[in-house]
Structure 1
């Protein structure tokens, strides 16, 4: 069986060979002599044309292979792209120190003083005791900031987790702040300096209805207008003497602390023209460190006597040698001036002096007499009640000595005011008041050189500019 399969396979191969030879007979005829077989007797190799062609072709293929294959391999290799590398700085974390200190934000409680509050009220409002308050007062020493607190003043408290007092801050004055820190009974007190500056302003006004309206139009606050009136109250009665067309020019300042507005400052220089009369005031620091206001000739603005010792609404009765008494119905002299004012209005001492009489006087009701010097005295009648001054006590100009009322023979609340010279009544509105003494020689020269000359030059320049502006405005109106 196996022999028959082998015979069949050999027959198939021979048949396939014969078929190939018949199909490619022309090739075999041409290349039969190329055989390298060892059939028969070997003939010596002769290089015919075909053999040279075959050898040349082989050499050519070999040479081309040596050149083309490397080039093709290089072409097929992906291009190497040079990538540009940017150098970026990397912030490497710093090595942490052995101990990291984290600052502690202190929680200070800021308390602003309200009207009517006392320092004990403020401490108790923070849950602190009077012992804490006494401890602070003892450590602070003699400071007015704690003994004379005022509305708007600030106190800063630093409290512990248990509510105990760890620190307190308060303004000692405008330019410094006191800081206290407590560690049990131990206290550390330090002072902090604060930057204070004054910024000047200039205002000019002309009276057309009232001083306050003119001041407001000029950009002044109510408080600054009151300061202006306070300066010139010794020379000008702002209720009766003010006239339309009167004018003023004021140089004043505001106070700033640490760059923030703190409060209104003071009038530096001022000029007031009333019914054609010119009055001036200049602020000057005296040799003793105190400040005062002086006229151009160096005399204090504050006169020896107030022209009017009460804020009144109207004059209800003038000084007169003979008038009909409103209650008695008789003609008799009225040897003083009656200033009508609401009951309870404060009455001020017209000048420095000593209380000579305090009590009831027929017709005058509650009555006070103040002796100012050997020849001049003032008298005040119809008071509703007295102040705390006693007979023989010295009083200063402007101090409150009583309050307006209608005790004695009076038909309404008013102050009856008398000015007496050697016990003879004079008209308070017309009597020539003694002029105060000017500054001493050296201070007067300093005042005129450092204050009057530069400030007067500024006031004159302002007045000239204002007149020029008015003239220009009138010219345009005429055109």
Structure 2
């Protein structure tokens, strides 16, 4: 029998001793009630947990130590109170002064520029409005680097507000460990400035001898790849580093090292250098004029830079020299070779040998694709067998020395990829490898005296390297004792 309230069963049991049966209630929960009971139990446990959490949070809002309380107060807001001696037990303590909250600190978000990134895209990803991009870029010349972001650069951005009202606080574009561009919001406007961190400058000297290659021996001596390239550029007008190097050639380099908080962050410029090649020694001094323009000069004040590059391409070998009686490899007959052929892979950049303007660009018979530059009224240069020209190159374009004008190819009468280079003086072909190149402008006369004092000091430091090396060698040689 089942009772109507569904709380228990009415069970009939027989008493063995009395040998008679009687009815009694035996409680037993029905199976269909079990899920409801489990649900109510879970709700009870969850309510208890929430209550304990809120209680613990309320307790943690109060400091448990006087030291913690003082640490979070502004010094000017801490007040002391001593009860009056006459005050009774019912005296009311004075109301404490309000605590001024500390200003909100904005954390910097570091962004490494990837290929295809620009300021608009980065601002959009951070939830900053396009209007703020316009406000920043409207600052003009100081923020021009932000329009020319390069992969690998570090951009730091700080902002405030939520997604709907996010506002740029500051922006930094790092050029180097010691120099960066900063854009900061002030009085609802942005201001930009270029900032250089305070650094320590130390002078370092490296010496070495060429045994196998300049790059290998330069790295072993303590130079970086960049410094070795700078060294070849400084002396590149006097030394052909692809053909003229010999075992036993020596070099000295005097350069700056930049330290930030006693930690080296980068190398500075080469201040002075010396290179001895095939028994001839060349010295170069870096000098900056009052306008901040720097260049390298000989100790007497002549420019190390010539009006023309000796070789306008990075080549692997010279495949054909200047020869007025050469037999042409394609035509198979005697035909004057009025230039030098520099073998190089297709696509190798070709640089302008000197400042000038383009007087011809296009296809020119056996030269294939060619460029002719006019340098003043006396000199001109020709570049032949090119694969393609620099984009936008046309007749009348002004060109500066070292600027890329085209790329090595095999067009025209050519048996392989190379650059055919000609050098003309007053319309007459000259051997590009041996022609005497005109000097660039020397030190101005008004700066000559200051340069001489500066150069004398640096040359003395270069000469002191030999003395120091001799002393060190003698002290380390047991036979000298």
> Same-fold call, TM > 0.5?
yes
Look up the match of 2:449. Answer: 445
User: 415, 432, 435: which one pairs with 2:436?
Assistant: 432
Q: Does 1:378 align with 2:394?
A: no
**In the superposition, relative to structure 1, how do residues 143 and 261 fare at CA in structure 2: closer, same or farther (>3 Å)?**
farther
* Structure 1 unmatched runs, 5+: 1-89
Where do residues 182-221 of structure 1 align in structure 2 (5 Å cutoff)? 186-189=188-191, 191=193, 194-221=197-224
Where do residues 46-65 of structure 1 align in structure 2 (5 Å cutoff)? none
* Structure 2 unmatched runs, 5+: 1-65, 71-77, 80-95
Q: Does 1:235 align with 2:238?
A: yes
Look up the match of 1:179. Answer: 183
Look up the match of 1:399. Answer: 403
**In the superposition, relative to structure 1, how do residues 261 and 105 fare at CA in structure 2: closer, same or farther (>3 Å)?**
farther
User: 251, 256, 260: which one pairs with 2:254?
Assistant: 251
**In the superposition, relative to structure 1, how do residues 190 and 239 fare at CA in structure 2: closer, same or farther (>3 Å)?**
closer
**TM-score, normalization: structure 2?**
0.74
Task: Supply the distance in 2 between the matched residues of 1:226 and 1:113 (Cα, whole angstroms).
Answer: 27
Task: Supply the distance in 1 between the matched residues of 2:374 and 2:192 (Cα, whole angstroms).
Answer: 49
Task: Supply the distance in 1 between the matched residues of 2:141 and 2:446 (Cα, whole angstroms).
Answer: 37
Residue 200 of structure 1: SS of its match in structure 2? Answer: strand
Q: Does 1:131 align with 2:126?
A: no
Could you tell which deviates more after superposition, 119-128 or 377-386?
Answer: 119-128
Look up the match of 2:459. Answer: 456
State the 1:342 CA deviation: 0.8
**In the superposition, relative to structure 1, how do residues 254 and 113 fare at CA in structure 2: closer, same or farther (>3 Å)?**
farther
State the 1:289 CA deviation: 2.2
State the 1:476 CA deviation: 5.0
2:359–2:395 CA contact under 8 A, matched in 1: yes
Task: Supply the distance in 1 between the matched residues of 2:298 and 2:308 (Cα, whole angstroms).
Answer: 16
State the 1:253 CA deviation: 1.6
2:360–2:372 CA contact under 8 A, matched in 1: yes
State the 1:298 CA deviation: 0.8
Where do residues 260-339 of structure 1 align in structure 2 (5 Å cutoff)? 261-339=264-342
Q: Does 1:167 align with 2:169?
A: yes
Look up the match of 2:36. Answer: none
State the 1:196 CA deviation: 3.3
State the 1:133 CA deviation: 1.6
Could you tell which deviates more after superposition, 125-134 or 393-402?
Answer: 125-134
**How many residues in Structure 1 have an aligned counterpart in Structure 2?**
386
Residue 326 of structure 1: SS of its match in structure 2? Answer: coil
Residue 143 of structure 1: SS of its match in structure 2? Answer: helix
**Cα RMSD, aligned residues only:** 2.7
Task: Supply the distance in 1 between the matched residues of 2:269 and 2:458 (Cα, whole angstroms).
Answer: 15
**TM-score, normalization: structure 1?**
0.74
Task: Supply the distance in 2 between the matched residues of 1:464 and 1:435 (Cα, whole angstroms).
Answer: 33
State the 1:345 CA deviation: 0.7
Q: Does 1:357 align with 2:360?
A: yes
**In the superposition, relative to structure 1, how do residues 259 and 168 fare at CA in structure 2: closer, same or farther (>3 Å)?**
farther
Task: Supply the distance in 2 between the matched residues of 1:171 and 1:226 (Cα, whole angstroms).
Answer: 27
Look up the match of 2:417. Answer: 413
